[in-house]
Amino acid sequence: MYLLFALPGLLIGIWAQIKLSHAYGKYSQVPVESGMTGAEVARRILNDAGLNDLPVEEVEGHLSDHYDPSKRALFLSTANFEGRTVAAVGVAAHEAGHALQHQAAYGLFNFRMAIVPVTQFASMAYMGIFFAGFIFRQFFHQCIVIAILMFAVMTLFQLVTLPVEFDASRRAKEQLFRLGLVREDERAGVSRVLDAAALTYVAALVSSVLQLLYLLTLARDNRR
């Protein structure tokens, strides 16, 4: 029964990763006409918004780019920090979009940030509670109910993340074009990279919803 719920999410996740790898791989080979690096593009967007003191730093890893609201700093992987490609400036602008969300006190961004601690706790404790139900069979139903509550928090996080990521991409495209950092014929490449990245968050949400449905089915069947 688990496979019936897990397999669709797994396949969608694989498909999303393939789409992202293809789009990013293709446009990381296409130079941007401006000749600017991802770091320079992010710096330009941040400075234009008055965020001159917000640092843009290099971080190790592949597509490890992120904005850290607790440190109020933007981190770009080496390929995107130094890259002068359509993919690099698109990813850099997306992360700068998160900084703009923070500056504007975007409601969903703030809500996601607020539930990070409880989500982290739920993700760490969930599996332990879930397997405890199989070890201590007399407490199986209670453990599954607790696991459902924890996974519901994780699913809520994924649900909130989706519009936050789409909004960051919208802000990124808007700033790239408004500031003239990409040409008209580079728009499609930027959009394809960011849209492919967004698919990974869609896949994560679908997988979480299916996993939650599986847990609910377990709890229902156990009560029969």
For each of the chain's 224 residues, which pLDDT tens digit applies?
778 888 888 899 999 999 999 999 999 999 999 999 999 999 999 999 999 999 999 999 999 999 999 999 999 999 999 999 999 999 999 999 999 999 999 999 999 999 999 999 998 888 888 778 778 777 777 888 888 999 999 999 999 999 999 999 999 999 999 999 999 999 999 999 999 999 999 999 999 999 899 889 888 776 65
Query: Which two structure tokens, joined as six digits, stand for 2?
Result: 């688990």
The length of the chain in residues reads 224
User: What's the pLDDT at 174?
Assistant: 95
Residue type, 155: T
User: What's the pLDDT at 222?
Assistant: 67
95 catalytic, yes or no?
Answer: yes
What is the dihedral sign for C-alpha 59, 106, 148, 125? positive
Within 8 A by CB and 6+ apart from 173, the residues are 93, 187, 190, 191, 194
User: What's the pLDDT at 141?
Assistant: 79
User: What's the pLDDT at 158?
Assistant: 95
Query: Using an 8 Å Cβ cutoff, are 163 and 111 in contact?
Result: no
Q: In what helix (H) or strand (E) does residue 66 lie, and over which residues does it extend?
A: strand 66-68
User: What's the pLDDT at 181?
Assistant: 95
Q: In what helix (H) or strand (E) does residue 24 lie, and over which residues does it extend?
A: helix 2-27
User: What's the pLDDT at 129?
Assistant: 85
The whole-angstrom distance between residue 57's C-alpha and the CA centroid of its chain comes to: 19
> Which residue of the set 95, 165, 184, 186 is catalytic?
95
Query: Using an 8 Å Cβ cutoff, are 79 and 28 in contact?
Result: yes
Q: Sheet containing 56-59: give its strands across.
A: 56-59, 73-77, 66-68
pTM comes to: 0.90
